[in-house]
């Protein structure tokens, strides 16, 4: 829709209508509604949003709300588009969340590279203040809420919520030990809600239309809709909103137009680079949290990366390992060293200097990285490695065929 | 150490930044960003100036600065080209395009042209995967890149 990013058009479309409705209710009722809607965090972990809100330490104030707009999971570009085209929906969602959680100060943590978006958001915030949707005594409700933007400076790890909080406090963006979770000790050691852009954007719908209506969409356990960023070897890459439970085949072949250049589907990564890839024969899996978990992967951030049969999977795997090696903050040894070792081994394999035992070595390293670190970055690096070995071992073996005897 | 002072306009901006946070320390990244954008790098002198504003040591400023990839100790060109090489762009042929861009500029990846006009960096995912391959030049995103389009974009920048 044209000019939806402006206050005028957004209001014409019913924008900010939910605030009056919300202020007529008790904050706890909104939390209950979000719980009942079944909305789960859309950033990657899929944690139930209402439950997260209800974990806030009781009677400790002030509390903070941080919107995680550090979108940097490879393949994911939904939050950028949401904020570019519909910034007021995010602001409205954040006001509702703050009212529900009794928060008076909020920050939108934007990744530093979104400096252009910052201008748009600042303008949207200015308009919202002018209209009395932000600031003191919003719409005569007695509720105060101030919202600011905060720019990061280029660090993938700051998308992890505790690293994001450290970064927002002006420190190096290293993850914190958990527990305590941010709901108990978050920003400035106060109870803090951290939610992804897309998650917060859903809240106005739930308040306007009711939890039941939202929960009527999707599967038994995965409720509502999800934005899927489809990229890679498809004819029509783009961000598509799908009802959870849609078959992956429909997303790749109908929405995104299928595989281009007459090639065939080889593999797809269903939830951003941090989740295990699946081979083409699993294309009929349904796109929801439970079905993907049963298939051994995750819905993650909702980034569908489609890979055709012109590619040797080892090449893409090396590129992903290189990414995690670069983005590892270096705090935990397993991650800092493990990502580098994996990189060196796969690089050697690609130079035809590998041998079969290398695969065993890689699996061993992955074993020592998974679930052993402060944050899931190490696990994220393990995902493409383990799944590529599991499904595309023959791609590795291609490189062992021409190994000169002297190098082994 | 002398050599760096904030302009009157920057001082005003800094006041505005401090007002956003209940604690001063949160202003660290915004101040570094302010300097980086004005000077195209964060010099040791600027670190000292920031440390005075933040009531911390210059070493602490440097430790934070060195964590984030968008702050540069060496001055970058007028136009900083961040060329995405992550998975979606890789699948769409970014490697050849990056090579083409470097050749066209006559520099290697990571270098700055002698006239300080362009700096070319390899970059991780910038969140425009549906328009891969893509690059970002200063604050502008450019998607659906081809050799021809890159040529046109670079030529259009003075």
B23: nearest CB among A174, A188, A305: A188
What distance in Å separates the CA atoms of residue A114 and residue A148, rounded to the nearest whole number?
15
Name every chain B residue with its beta carbon within 8 A of the beta carbon of A311. 91
The pLDDT of residue B158 is 84
Residue B2 lies in a domain: no
- A188 and A74 in a common domain: yes
> B57 — contact with chain A (CB < 8 Å)?
no
Residue B74 lies in a domain: no
Q: Which of B16, B57, B59, B127 has the highest number of chain A CBs within 10 A, making it the mutation to test binding with A?
A: B127
Residue B24 lies in a domain: yes
The pLDDT of residue A118 is 96
Residue A1 lies in a domain: no
- A205 and A80 in a common domain: yes
Residue A220 lies in a domain: no
- B59 and B86 in a common domain: no
User: Among residues B65, B94, B110, which one ends one of the domains?
Assistant: B65
- Is B68 in contact with A155 (Cβ distance < 8 A)? yes
**The two structure tokens encoding residue B13:** 């901006």
Q: Which residue of A has its CA nearest to B89?
A: A232
What distance in Å separates the CA atoms of residue A363 and residue A343, rounded to the nearest whole number?
13
What distance in Å separates the CA atoms of residue A32 and residue A265, rounded to the nearest whole number?
43
What distance in Å separates the CA atoms of residue A168 and residue A152, rounded to the nearest whole number?
8
Q: What is the mean pLDDT of residues A336-353?
A: 97
- A303 and A243 in a common domain: yes
Average pLDDT, chain A: 96
- B92 and B58 in a common domain: no
The CATH number given to whatever domain includes residue B46 is 1.10.10.1590
Name every chain A residue with its beta carbon within 8 A of the beta carbon of B86. 74, 273, 319, 323
Name every chain A residue with its beta carbon within 8 A of the beta carbon of B26. 150, 168-170
What distance in Å separates the CA atoms of residue A372 and residue A15, rounded to the nearest whole number?
45
Q: Is A349 exposed, middle or buried (0-12, 13-18, 19+ CB in 10 A)?
A: buried
Characterise A239 by phi-psi region: left (phi > 0), alpha (psi -120 to 50), beta (else).
beta
User: Among residues A308, A324, A354, which one ends one of the domains?
Assistant: A308
Residue A365 lies in a domain: yes
* Residue count (chain A): 408
Specify the range with the lowest mean pLDDT, choosing from A93-102, A397-406, B86-95, B103-112: A397-406
Q: Supply the range of the domain harboring residue B126.
A: 79-156
Q: What is the mean pLDDT of residues A77-97?
A: 97
| Count of structural domains within chain B | 2
Name every chain B residue with its beta carbon within 8 A of the beta carbon of A229. 129-130
- A280 and A148 in a common domain: no
Name every chain A residue with its beta carbon within 8 A of the beta carbon of B71. 153
Q: Is B72 exposed, middle or buried (0-12, 13-18, 19+ CB in 10 A)?
A: middle
What distance in Å separates the CA atoms of residue A381 and residue A342, rounded to the nearest whole number?
9
Q: Using the 8-state DSSP alphabet, how is residue A255 labeled?
A: I
Residue B1 lies in a domain: no
Residue B120 lies in a domain: yes
Residue A2 lies in a domain: no
* DSSP H helical ranges for A238-373: 248-249, 289-294, 313-327, 333-350, 357-369
Q: Which residue of A has its CA nearest to B133?
A: A232
The CATH number given to whatever domain includes residue B93 is 3.40.30.10
* Residue count (chain B): 158
The pLDDT of residue B3 is 82
- B118 and B91 in a common domain: yes
> B87 — contact with chain A (CB < 8 Å)?
yes
Distances (CA, A) of B140 to A2, A51, A171, B76, B80: 21, 38, 27, 16, 10
pLDDT(A405) > 90: no
The pLDDT of residue A407 is 54
How many CB atoms are located within 10 Å of the residue B42 CB?
A: 25
> B143 — contact with chain A (CB < 8 Å)?
no
Q: What is the mean pLDDT of residues A314-337?
A: 97
The pLDDT of residue A324 is 97
pLDDT 10s digits, A135-169 = 999 999 999 999 999 999 999 999 999 999 999 99
Residue A263 lies in a domain: yes
- B96 and B37 in a common domain: no
- A170 and A104 in a common domain: yes
Please provide residue A319's backbone torsions phi and psi, each rounded to the nearest 5 degrees: -65, -40
Residue B134 lies in a domain: yes
B129: nearest CB among A76, A115, A152: A76
pLDDT(B1) > 80: no
Percentage of residues of chain B with pLDDT beyond 70 = 99
The CATH number given to whatever domain includes residue A241 is 3.10.20.600
Q: What is the mean pLDDT of residues A257-269?
A: 97
Name every chain B residue with its beta carbon within 8 A of the beta carbon of A163. none
Distance from CA of A31 to the nearest CA of B (A): 26
- B149 and B89 in a common domain: yes
- Is A188 in contact with B131 (Cβ distance < 8 A)? no
- A243 and A200 in a common domain: no
> A113 — contact with chain B (CB < 8 Å)?
yes
- A320 and A302 in a common domain: no
- Is A230 in contact with B127 (Cβ distance < 8 A)? no
- B86 and B59 in a common domain: no
- B86 and B125 in a common domain: yes
Residue partners of A167: CB distance under 8 A and separation at least 6: A109, A152, A155, A158, A173, B29
- A124 and A56 in a common domain: yes
- A301 and A231 in a common domain: yes
- Is B82 in contact with A150 (Cβ distance < 8 A)? no
pLDDT(B68) > 90: yes
Closest to B30 (Cα-Cα) out of A166, A151, A121, A117: A151
- A204 and A76 in a common domain: yes
How many CB atoms are located within 10 Å of the residue B144 CB?
A: 13
User: Among residues A248, A275, A308, which one ends one of the domains?
Assistant: A308
| Count of structural domains within chain A | 3
- Is B130 in contact with A237 (Cβ distance < 8 A)? yes
> A20 — contact with chain B (CB < 8 Å)?
no
Closest to A177 (Cα-Cα) out of A331, A384, A6, A25: A331
pLDDT(A404) > 80: no
Q: What is the mean pLDDT of residues A67-90?
A: 97
- A131 and A193 in a common domain: yes
Q: Provide the edge-to-edge strand list for the sheet that holds A192-196.
A: A146-151, A105-110, A64-69, A192-196
Name every chain A residue with its beta carbon within 8 A of the beta carbon of B125. 72-76, 273, 323
- B96 and B141 in a common domain: yes
**Contact indicator for A358, A184 with CB cutoff of 8 Å:** no
Residue A25 lies in a domain: yes
Distance from CA of B25 to the nearest CA of A (A): 5
The pLDDT of residue B131 is 97
What distance in Å separates the CA atoms of residue A203 and residue A42, rounded to the nearest whole number?
12
The pLDDT of residue A300 is 97
- Is A75 in contact with B70 (Cβ distance < 8 A)? no
User: Among residues A273, A291, A308, which one ends one of the domains?
Assistant: A308
Does pTM top 0.90 for this prediction? yes
Distances (CA, A) of B47 to A166, B107, B156: 20, 29, 35
3-state class (DSSP) for residue A45:
coil
Q: Which of A170, A189, A238, A305 has the highest number of chain B CBs within 10 A, making it the mutation to test binding with B?
A: A170
pLDDT 10s digits, A108-120 = 999 999 999 999 9
Q: What is the mean pLDDT of residues A209-233?
A: 97
User: Among residues B65, B97, B114, which one ends one of the domains?
Assistant: B65
- Is A170 in contact with B28 (Cβ distance < 8 A)? yes
Residue B51 lies in a domain: yes
- A35 and A166 in a common domain: yes
Q: Supply the range of the domain harboring residue A261.
A: 225-308
Q: What is the mean pLDDT of residues B106-133?
A: 97
What distance in Å separates the CA atoms of residue A193 and residue A54, rounded to the nearest whole number?
10
**Contact indicator for B68, A173 with CB cutoff of 8 Å:** yes
Q: What is the mean pLDDT of residues A289-308?
A: 98
Closest to B67 (Cα-Cα) out of A379, A156, A186: A156
- Is A113 in contact with B82 (Cβ distance < 8 A)? yes
pLDDT 10s digits, B10-38 = 999 999 999 999 999 999 999 999 999 99
Distances (CA, A) of A391 to A78, A324, A346, A351: 28, 21, 16, 21
Q: Which residue of A has its CA nearest to B126?
A: A72
Q: Using the 8-state DSSP alphabet, how is residue A145 labeled?
A: B
- Is B33 in contact with A112 (Cβ distance < 8 A)? yes
pLDDT(A320) > 70: yes
- B96 and B52 in a common domain: no
**Contact indicator for B1, B44 with CB cutoff of 8 Å:** yes
């Amino acid at each position: 829709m044209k000019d939806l990013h402006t206050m005028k058009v957004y209001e014409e479309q019913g924008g900010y209508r939910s605030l009056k409705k919300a202020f007529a209710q008790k904050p706890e009722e909104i939390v209950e509604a979000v719980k009942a809607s079944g909305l789960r965090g859309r950033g990657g972990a899929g944690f139930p949003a209402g439950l997260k809100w209800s974990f806030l330490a009781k009677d400790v104030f002030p509390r903070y709300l941080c919107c995680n707009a550090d979108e940097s999971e490879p393949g994911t570009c939904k939050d950028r588009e949401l904020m570019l085209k519909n910034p007021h929906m995010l602001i409205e969602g954040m006001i509702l969340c703050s009212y529900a959680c009794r928060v008076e100060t909020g920050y939108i943590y934007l990744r530093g590279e979104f400096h252009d978006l910052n201008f748009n958001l600042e303008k949207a915030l200015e308009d919202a203040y002018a209209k009395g949707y932000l600031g003191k005594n919003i719409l005569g409700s007695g509720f105060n809420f101030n919202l600011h933007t905060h720019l990061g400076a280029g660090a993938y790890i700051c998308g992890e919520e505790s690293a994001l909080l450290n970064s927002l406090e002006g420190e190096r963006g290293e993850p914190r030990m958990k527990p305590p979770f941010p709901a108990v000790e978050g920003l400035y050691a106060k109870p803090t809600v951290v939610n992804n852009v897309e998650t917060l954007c859903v809240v106005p719908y739930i308040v306007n239309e009711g939890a039941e209506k939202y929960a009527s969409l999707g599967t038994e356990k995965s409720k509502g809709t999800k934005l899927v960023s489809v990229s890679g070897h498809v004819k029509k890459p783009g961000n598509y909103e799908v009802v959870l439970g849609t078959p992956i085949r429909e997303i790749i072949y109908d929405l995104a137009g299928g595989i281009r250049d007459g090639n065939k589907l080889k593999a797809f990564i269903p939830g951003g680079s941090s989740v295990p890839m699946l081979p083409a024969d699993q294309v009929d899996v349904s796109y929801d949290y439970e079905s993907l978990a049963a298939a051994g992967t995750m819905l993650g951030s909702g980034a569908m990366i489609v890979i055709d049969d012109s590619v040797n999977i080892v090449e893409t795997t090396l590129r992903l390992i290189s990414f995690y090696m670069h983005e590892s903050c270096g705090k935990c040894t397993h991650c800092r060293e493990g990502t580098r070792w994996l990189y060196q081994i796969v690089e050697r394999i690609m130079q035809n200097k590998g041998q079969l035992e290398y695969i065993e070595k890689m699996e061993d390293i992955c074993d020592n990285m998974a679930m052993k670190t402060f944050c899931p970055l190490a696990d994220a690096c393990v995902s493409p490695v383990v799944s590529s070995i599991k499904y595309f071992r023959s791609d590795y073996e291609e490189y062992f065929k021409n190994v000169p005897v002297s190098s082994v | 150490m002398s050599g760096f002072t904030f302009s009157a306009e920057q001082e005003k901006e800094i006041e505005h930044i401090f007002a956003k946070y209940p604690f001063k320390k949160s202003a660290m990244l915004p101040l570094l960003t302010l300097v980086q954008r004005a000077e195209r790098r964060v010099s040791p002198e600027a670190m000292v100036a920031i440390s005075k504003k933040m009531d911390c040591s210059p070493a602490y400023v440097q430790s934070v600065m060195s964590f984030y990839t968008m702050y540069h100790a060496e001055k970058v060109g007028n136009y900083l080209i961040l060329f995405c090489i992550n998975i979606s762009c890789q699948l769409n042929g970014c490697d050849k395009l990056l090579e083409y861009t470097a050749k066209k500029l006559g520099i290697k990846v990571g270098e700055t042209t002698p006239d300080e006009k362009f700096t070319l960096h390899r970059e991780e995912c910038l969140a425009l995967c549906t328009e891969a391959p893509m690059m970002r030049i200063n604050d502008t995103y450019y998607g659906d890149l081809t050799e021809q389009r890159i040529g046109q974009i670079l030529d259009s920048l003075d």
